[in-house]
Each structure stands twice: as C-alpha cells, then as structure tokens.
Structure 1
C-alpha cells in the first residue's frame, strides 16, 4: 500500500465517527485508532507480514500527514473581508457541480443559498456525498472546476453572508 493511499485512509477515518479501523490485504494489515485523550490525535501502525513461521510480526509507525500550508490565494481571500464564508471539502474526493452531466449545476456565482442547500457533490470511494452550504448567503465564487480532485479542507466556494 502506498503512503498516499494510507494518508487518504487516515483522512477518511479522521472525518468519521469511527474510533478504530482495521484493513488487511495481501498479508499487510493496517490498524488505526483515534486517541480520544489528545485532541486530533490518533495512532496508526502498519503491520508487516511474517516472513517465516515463528517470526515475530513487526509494527512500524506510519508517518501522519502534516498540516497543509495555506496557499497565497487563500491568505488574500481571508484578508478580503470577514463577511465571506468558505465552504470547504469535508473529504478527499472528486468535485462535481451537478448530480449528472445533463443537469445544471447546483449553484453558480450569484446563486442564493441557505444552510441546508446542496451546493455540490464530492465523490469518495464510489460514494457520492452531497455538500451543504452551512450558511445563508450568496455564492461569490466557485473555487474549483467540475471533475477536479479536492483535498480535505480545501475551499470550494466563497459565500457572501
């Protein structure tokens, strides 16, 4: 399993309500446990398969993702005003503006939204997750393109409150 795949699993487990996650494939086992004593902390171990009968199984810590640095564009947007709200991606996945290619986008620049308005879909692991606006306001800018891969916490829309 590649480090990037493990990082994506970490993000998905972190966003979920799961306290523990185990994954096994081709003799490799990954166990993730959230540490409820430390805010945002969790433990990840990758178990290396046994080479020969009787040998001890070794566990090696897997590097945890470092917090991403904010791009210059995002810092400029923060300085633009306090009346703007960012709708961010709650997961790693593919951004879609509409439920299907034949249908108009959920929202576009100038669209009015309410807290429960669906603004897009983020597909992760063949699951299509509807993302809601979280606030009442007007879409000022769509920050990603249809079909673009998005990261956890990546801003998708700017909403004028």
Structure 2
C-alpha cells in the first residue's frame, strides 16, 4: 500500500514530467493521477486609457475629464499584504479540501500573528477521505492565510505566508 509520502513524490514526479495521466493498482488499491490540460487563449490587447491627475486650476477653467470605457478603467484595489520576497509559502501537497481546524467545533490550528515551529500542524487537507495534517516546515510567524475553510485547493497552491524567524 502506498504511503502519503509516496503519493506526494509521485505527484511531484508527474508534475515535472510530460506524462498526462498515471494509473497505479495494487492489491485492490487504485490511484489515478491526471494533469489538468492548460488551454492558452490569445487575447488581443487594447490600449489602456490612463487619466492624468488634473492640475489645480480655478473651477471655471477646469477641463472636463473624459471617461474611459468601463473595461479600460484602471481599478484601484486595497493592498492585501505587502508581498515580501523573504516570506515562506506553505503550499498544498495535493488536491483536496482545506480545513483550518481538526473539527467544526474546534479552534483553528493557526491564525494570523501566531508563531509556528517547523513541526507545528497548520491545517488539514482532505484527499480521498484521508485527513492529511500539514506542518509548517519552518519556524516563524503566520503573516497571511490565503484560503478559506472548506475551500478546494490544488496541488502547489499557496495556503499560508510565513515570516521566518
């Protein structure tokens, strides 16, 4: 029977190869791994209209501001967290469902600001009815949690950002 570490190694090996699908069967246990096909779509770029800040003028001399098409307007979004190259990313080792706590009525394993050690459990990823505890693999402080409880996660998807000690 395959151990979870064996499955993780298989996933990594298949991800780095050109294999599209892998099937394994032993003693009634079946494992099938498939790569998601990436479809590239060509999009024709349209010029972006950027509005220049208005120079302070008397109200009667102010020029009317032209509106760009809605799809061409520049959207201002609030910054989530300043991305720091020194942050460690804890990623999903497999496809599954992310759980922040061991059970629905238990507190989350970690929250933003918590200190973790390399062997601290930070979440569970459920795959094929198996609950896989993920460890931090680094000592530091949880800076950001990038997924929601109960969310489906993909292999390699970033789950946490950790500021190393």
Kindly report which structure 2 residues correspond to 1:106-121, keeping only aligned pairs within 5 A, or say none. Answer: 106-121=109-124
Q: Is the 8 A contact 1:113 1:136 kept in 2?
A: yes
The alignment covers a number of residue pairs equal to 110
Q: Structure 1 pair 156/44, CA: closer, same or farther in 2 (3 Å)?
A: closer
The separation in 1 between residues aligned to 2:21 and 2:92, in whole angstroms, is 27
The separation in 1 between residues aligned to 2:137 and 2:110, in whole angstroms, is 14
The separation in 2 between residues aligned to 1:99 and 1:68, in whole angstroms, is 37
The separation in 1 between residues aligned to 2:38 and 2:136, in whole angstroms, is 24
Give the structure with the larger strand fraction: 1
1:76-133 C-alpha deviation (Å, 9 max, x unpaired): 99x8222211111001000000110111000000100011100000000100000010
The separation in 2 between residues aligned to 1:146 and 1:87, in whole angstroms, is 16
Partner of 1:65: 36
User: Structure 2 regions of 5+ residues with no counterpart?
Assistant: 23-33, 41-78
State the superposition RMSD in angstroms: 3.5
Q: Structure 1 pair 142/83, CA: closer, same or farther in 2 (3 Å)?
A: same
Q: Which of structures 1 and 2 has the bigger CA Rg?
A: 2
Cα displacement (A) at 1:41: 1.9
Q: Secondary structure at the match of 2:161?
A: strand
Partner of 2:131: 128
Cα displacement (A) at 1:42: 5.4
Q: TM-score, normalised by structure 1?
A: 0.57
Q: Is the 8 A contact 2:98 2:123 kept in 1?
A: yes
Q: Is the 8 A contact 1:15 1:90 kept in 2?
A: no
